[in-house]
Structures are given as structure tokens and as C-alpha cells.
């Protein structure tokens, strides 16, 4: 591991909360695709599979920001444990309903309950911010966490799809639930590195949701479209591989998609930048959109794997820059909530993308389904350009994440 990353873990407790966050985030890449694989294995209904995955994502979008807002107010331990227990109970209900053929509405109710799963990525990043706020190491920490995200997406689908196709249909989501339980309870047992809560006084200045920040609104709106790319790619890739008689190969192809992002994120974390990060962010959004076009032209899994690897190169740098922009536009006392709102935008997009892609596959074929991420990418670019002015004006008195060697404006935009 390059020395800037190794140096991160000189901080007491950093290895522990990072490891716990890694385990707790594995379900992020395993649950949705695991449900898609499980349902398609049981009854072959990709429309239902995509709708259930969408329900999980939409429920997380509705519940997640509230959970993170409570975390900012009351602390991680007091909020995450009960929220996780609800998600685990709902996951158990979904697996039983699928196994015994219960009515579809039961599946949807349980899928909605899984939405109470907390955003472990935001929780871990908040701990890094508490440790390295105001230093260049925070950019490296955010980069490291983006790499961890992508490692989860490299191995998560392989494990989830592999278990569900080789062992039994419910195996992937079941293991995802186990990872969630271990990760959350391990993380919340580490009280020494838990960020201090920020109780809010009713009527005090700065009250209300973090989403009131104009810059955050732009990021969330853009990432709804970006999430649609991710959700559609997941569902369509499984169907694409299934149509060619290699359903298990979908996990390898999706892993290469994440591997491209992982490589780019690792390199990006070693760099230091001058100038405004919103320009790099917009460039990343545009690159993600353009990278979807070749997917319409591929005709076999090897070519698809190459195309997705190249497409993945733009993901992590864009996400890293997004986290820095959040700190420019969101008060420190609402940082966890602000990060979760971006995840919420992604979740809504994943829900829309996976659901629409499932309908397109059922109506036509998997190759036609790749038109969904192409359209979603175009929407992301449009929203990004329309909201660029808001992102170029950081709110006064907010952020202050990175201190470097340049002007104050440039120092705050190193990441």
C-alpha cells in the first residue's frame, strides 16, 4: 500500500472502524443484486426482481437521511443498533417469503423494511473527518474509503450471485445480512472514535435538514441519475449473461466494473489538485455518461467486461470529489446527514434504473436494457450543467476540510 494510505492508520482506532465499515458495507453490493438473483432463480420474473430491488433502494432513500440525522444528534451507537435490528428482521422475512412462495405484497413489505439499513459509508467517513479535519490526509482518507466501496462491489456481487446460483437462491442475501450485523455491532462497539453528537435546539440557527443547502441539492439530484446508471447496469448485466447461458459470469463482469473504479480511486487519492473541485466533478459526470454508450454495441461477455472496466474508471474520482463538495456546502454538525443524502440520491436512482431496466428486459431483451443507463447518463450531465453555478459558490462558514499549500480557496478544494 502506498505510504500516504499506510500513514492514515497511525491514528488510534482507525484500523478498527475502517475494518468494521468494510464488513458493514458489503451488503450494499450484495443485497440488491442478491435479491435480483434470488427471485430470478425461483420464478424467472425479472420485473418483480427489479421492483423488489427498487423497493429496498427507495425505502433506504426515505429512511436513511432521517437515521443519519438522528446519528448527528444522538450518536452512532444509540441509533445504528436498533435501526439494524429492524433491517435484519425485514431481511429474514423477505427470505422466508421467497422460500415459501408467499404473496408478492409480503415480499414488498419486507423489502421496504430492509431500507432501514444505516449508511455505513457515511458513518465511517464521518469518523475520518473527525480524525483528520483540516488536513490533507482527509482527501486520502476519502479516497481510501472509495476504494473500499469498490472492493465491496468487486467481491460482493461475485459472492452473492455465486452463492445464490451454486448453493441455494437465498444464500446471497442471507450472507449480506450476516455481514451487516457483524459490521454495525463491531463499529458501534468502538466508542473512542465515534464523532461527538450535535444536539439541536429547536428554532436555533442552522436547524432543519442539511438538504436546504443549494449545493447539496445539486449533488443529490445529479446522483439520482447516476444511481440509475448503476442500478440498470446491475440488472441488465445479470440478464445479459443469463441470455448467453453464463448467468454466473455476471458477477465477474460486474466485479470488473468495480475494479476499474477501484484502480482509479487508488491513484486519485495519491494526487493533489489545484483549482475548483466542481470542475473535476462535472468532468467525472460527463465521463460516466459517455462511457455508457459502448454498452449498446457489445455482443458478448468478454467485450462487455472490457467496456465496463473502462466505464468504472470515472466512478471513484467523481465520488471522492463529491464528498469534498459536501463539506463545502453542509454545516459540520450535519455532515453525516449530508453524506447520506448523496447516498439517498444514488438509492433513488438505483431504484428507478433497476426497475425500468427490468421492464425493458421483460419487454425486449437485455441488450435493449443498456439503453437505460445511456439515457440516465445524459440526464446526469444535463442536471450537472444546470446546477454548476450553485456548486461554484460554497456556503460561508461551512466545510474547511483540507489545508494545503495554496490559497484558502485552493486549500479547501484540494480534494
Q: How far is CA 129 from CA 137, 185, 314, 400, in A?
A: 10, 21, 24, 11
Rounded to whole angstroms, the Cα distance separating 152 from 146 reads 10
**What average pLDDT does range 200-217 have in this prediction?**
62
Answer for the pair 320, 146: CB distance below 8 angstroms, yes or no: yes
**What average pLDDT does range 377-382 have in this prediction?**
93
Rounded to whole angstroms, the Cα distance separating 156 from 61 reads 21
Element (H, E) at 144: helix 137-166
Establish if 226 belongs to a structural domain. Answer: yes
Range of the domain at 405: 14-194+210-411
Q: What's the grid cell of residue 7? A: 500513514
Find cell 443469463 and name the residue.
Answer: 242
pLDDT band for position 259 (cuts 50, 70, 90): confident
What is the per-residue pLDDT for 412?
A: 30
Establish if 111 belongs to a structural domain. Answer: yes
Element (H, E) at 166: helix 137-166
Identify which of 374, 315, 99, 339 has the alpha carbon closest to the alpha carbon of residue 195: 339
What is the per-residue pLDDT for 406?
A: 31
**What average pLDDT does range 228-245 have in this prediction?**
86
- pLDDT above 90 coverage of the chain, percent: 17
Rounded to whole angstroms, the Cα distance separating 81 from 69 reads 15
Q: Is 203 left (phi over 0), alpha (psi -120 to 50) or beta?
A: left
Q: What's the grid cell of residue 38? A: 434470488
What is the per-residue pLDDT for 8?
A: 81
What is the per-residue pLDDT for 393?
A: 63
Establish if 294 belongs to a structural domain. Answer: yes
Q: Which of 71-75, 214-218, 226-230 has the lowest mean pLDDT?
A: 214-218
Identify which of 30, 394, 409 has the alpha carbon closest to the alpha carbon of residue 219: 394
Identify which of 28, 294, 64 has the alpha carbon closest to the alpha carbon of residue 159: 28
What is the per-residue pLDDT for 204?
A: 45
Q: How far is CA 41 from CA 37, 97, 165, 327, in A?
A: 6, 14, 7, 43
Number of domains in the chain: 1
Establish if 199 belongs to a structural domain. Answer: no
Neighbour tally for 47: CB within 10 Å: 16
Establish if 316 belongs to a structural domain. Answer: yes
Supply the CATH number for residue 324's domain: 1.20.1250.20
Q: How far is CA 361 from CA 44, 45, 67, 123, 354, in A?
A: 12, 10, 34, 36, 10
Q: What's the grid cell of residue 235? A: 440488472
**What average pLDDT does range 215-232 have in this prediction?**
87
Establish if 379 belongs to a structural domain. Answer: yes
What is the per-residue pLDDT for 292?
A: 92
- pLDDT above 70 coverage of the chain, percent: 89
Instruction: Write out the DSSP string of 61-128.
Output: HHHHHHHHHHHHHH-HHHHHHHHHHHHHHHHHHHHHHHHHT--HHHHHHHHHHHTT---HHHHHHHHH
pLDDT band for position 66 (cuts 50, 70, 90): confident
Establish if 115 belongs to a structural domain. Answer: yes
Residue 407 has pLDDT above 50, yes or no: no
Upper half-sphere CA count for residue 386 (Cβ side, 13 Å): 10
Rounded to whole angstroms, the Cα distance separating 133 from 135 reads 6
Establish if 232 belongs to a structural domain. Answer: yes
What is the per-residue pLDDT for 401?
A: 40
What is the per-residue pLDDT for 275?
A: 67
Amino acid at each position: 500500500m502506498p505510504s500516504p494510505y499506510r500513514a492514515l492508520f497511525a491514528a488510534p482506532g482507525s484500523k478498527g472502524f475502517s475494518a468494521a465499515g468494510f464488513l458493514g458495507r458489503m451488503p450494499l453490493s450484495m443485497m440488491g443484486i442478491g435479491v435480483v438473483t434470488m427471485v430470478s432463480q425461483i420464478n424467472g420474473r425479472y420485473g418483480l426482481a427489479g421492483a423488489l430491488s427498487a423497493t429496498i433502494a427507495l425505502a433506504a432513500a426515505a429512511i436513511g437521511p432521517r437515521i443519519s440525522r438522528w446519528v448527528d444528534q444522538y450518536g452512532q451507537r444509540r441509533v445504528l443498533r436498533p435501526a439494524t435490528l429492524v433491517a435484519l428482521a425485514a431481511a429474514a422475512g423477505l427470505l422466508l417469503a421467497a422460500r415459501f412462495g408467499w404473496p408478492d405484497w409480503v415480499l414488498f413489505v419486507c423489502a421496504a423494511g430492509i431500507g432501514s439499513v444505516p449508511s455505513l459509508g457515511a458513518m465511517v467517513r464521518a469518523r475520518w473527518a473527525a480524525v483528520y479535519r483540516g488536513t490533507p490526509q482527509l482527501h486520502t482518507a476519502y479516497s481510501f474509503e472509495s476504494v473500499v466501496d469498490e472492493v465491496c462491489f468487486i467481491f460482493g456481487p461475485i459472492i452473492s450471485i455465486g452463492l445464490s446460483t451454486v448453493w441455494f437462491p437465498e444464500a446471497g442475501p442471507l450472507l449480506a445480512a450476516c455481514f451487516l450485523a457483524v459490521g454495525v455491532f463491531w463499529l458501534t462497539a468502538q466508542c473512542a472514535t465515534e464523532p461527538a453528537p450535535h444536539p439541536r435546539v429547536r428554532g436555533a440557527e442552522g436547524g432543519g435538514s442539511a438538504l436546504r443547502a443549494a449545493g447539496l441539492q445539486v449533488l443529490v439530484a445529479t446522483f439520482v441519475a447516476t444511481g440509475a446508471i448503476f442500478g440498470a447496469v446491475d440488472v441488465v448485466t445479470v440478464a445479459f449473461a443469463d441470455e448467453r447461458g453464463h448467468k454466473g459470469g455476471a458477477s465477474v463482469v460486474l466485479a470488473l466494473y468495480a475494479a476499474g473504479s477501484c484502480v482509479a480511486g487508488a491513484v486519485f487519492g495519491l494526487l493533489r489538485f489545484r483549482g475548483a473541485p466542481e470542475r473535476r466533478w462535472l468532468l467525472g459526470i460527463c465521463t460516466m455518461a459517455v462511457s455508457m454508450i459502448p454498452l449498446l454495441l457489445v455482443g458478448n461477455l468478454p467485450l462487455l467486461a472490457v467496456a465496463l472496466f473502462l466505464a468504472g474508471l470515472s466512478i471513484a474520482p467523481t465520488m471522492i470529489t463529491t464528498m469534498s463538495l459536501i463539506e463545502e456546502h453542509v454545516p459540520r454538525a450535519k455532515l453525516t446527514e449530508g453524506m447520506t443524502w448523496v447516498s439517498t440520491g444514488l438509492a433513488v436512482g438505483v431504484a428507478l434504473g433497476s426497475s425500468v431496466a427490468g421492464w425493458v428486459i421483460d419487454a425486449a431483451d437485455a441488450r435493449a436494457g443498456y439503453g437505460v443507463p445511456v439515457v440516465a447518463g445524459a440526464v446526469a450531465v444535463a442536471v450537472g450543467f444546470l446546477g454548476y453555478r450553485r456548486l461554484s459558490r460554497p456556503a460561508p462558514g461551512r466545510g474547511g476540510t483540507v489545508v494545503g499549500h495554496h490559497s484558502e480557496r485552493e486549500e479547501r478544494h484540494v480534494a
